[in-house]
Amino acid sequence: MGYERKAFELMLAEKTNFTITRMVRLLEVSRSGYYVWLDRKPSDRAIRRENIEQKVAWFHGDSDEVYGSPRILADLRADGETISRKTVAKTMQRLGLVGICPKKWRTTTIIDHADAYPVDAVKRKWDTGALNQVWVGDITYLRTWEGWVYLATVIDAHSRRVIGWAIADHMRTDLIENALVMAMTLRGDRPAQVIFHSDRGTQYASAQITAFAIKNGITRSMGLTGICWDNAMAESFFATLKTEFYYRRVWPTRDRATREVGAWIEDRYNRRRRHSSIGDVTPVTFELQYSSETAEVQLAA
Domain containing residue 263: CATH number: 3.30.420.10
Question: 230 and 166, same structural domain?
Answer: yes
Closest CA to 211 of 223, 201, 220: 220
Residue 163 backbone phi and psi in degrees, to 5:
-95, -15
Indicate whether 233 pLDDT > 50.
Answer: yes
Residue 63 backbone phi and psi in degrees, to 5:
-85, 10
Q: Give whichever of 9-13, 111-115, 228-232, 234-238 has the largest mean pLDDT.
A: 234-238
Higher pLDDT, 239 or 40: 239
- What total of structural domains would you count in the chain? 3
**Is 100 a member of any domain?**
no
Which amino acid does the sequence have at 146?
E
Question: 161 and 51, same structural domain?
Answer: no
**Is the Cβ–Cβ distance between 175 and 150 less than 8 Å?**
yes
**Is 127 a member of any domain?**
no
**Is 281 a member of any domain?**
yes
**Predicted local distance difference test score (pLDDT) of residue 224:** 65
Question: 83 and 23, same structural domain?
Answer: no
Give me the DSSP letters along 66-99.
---HHHHHHHHHHTT----HHHHHHHHHHHT---
* Residues 23, 8: Cα–Cα separation, whole Å: 9
Domain assignment of residue 51, given as a range? 44-95
Question: 156 and 7, same structural domain?
Answer: no
Average pLDDT over the chain reads 83
Angstrom distances, CA of residue 195 to CA of 20, 166, 173: 72, 19, 18
**Is 259 a member of any domain?**
yes
Question: 233 and 153, same structural domain?
Answer: yes
**Predicted local distance difference test score (pLDDT) of residue 229:** 52
Question: 81 and 15, same structural domain?
Answer: no
Closest CA to 297 of 159, 183, 155, 129: 129
Question: 287 and 144, same structural domain?
Answer: yes
For the entire predicted model, the pTM comes to 0.70
**Is 119 a member of any domain?**
no
Question: 144 and 80, same structural domain?
Answer: no
Question: 150 and 86, same structural domain?
Answer: no
Question: 73 and 156, same structural domain?
Answer: no
**Is the Cβ–Cβ distance between 175 and 164 less than 8 Å?**
no
Q: How far is CA 109 from the centre of its chain?
A: 23
Q: CA end-to-end span of the chain, whole Å?
A: 66
* Residues 210, 18: Cα–Cα separation, whole Å: 75
Question: 188 and 202, same structural domain?
Answer: yes
Higher pLDDT, 257 or 120: 257
Question: 282 and 148, same structural domain?
Answer: yes
Q: Is 225 helix (H, G, I), strand (E, B) or coil?
A: coil
Q: Is 185 helix (H, G, I), strand (E, B) or coil?
A: helix
**Is 90 a member of any domain?**
yes
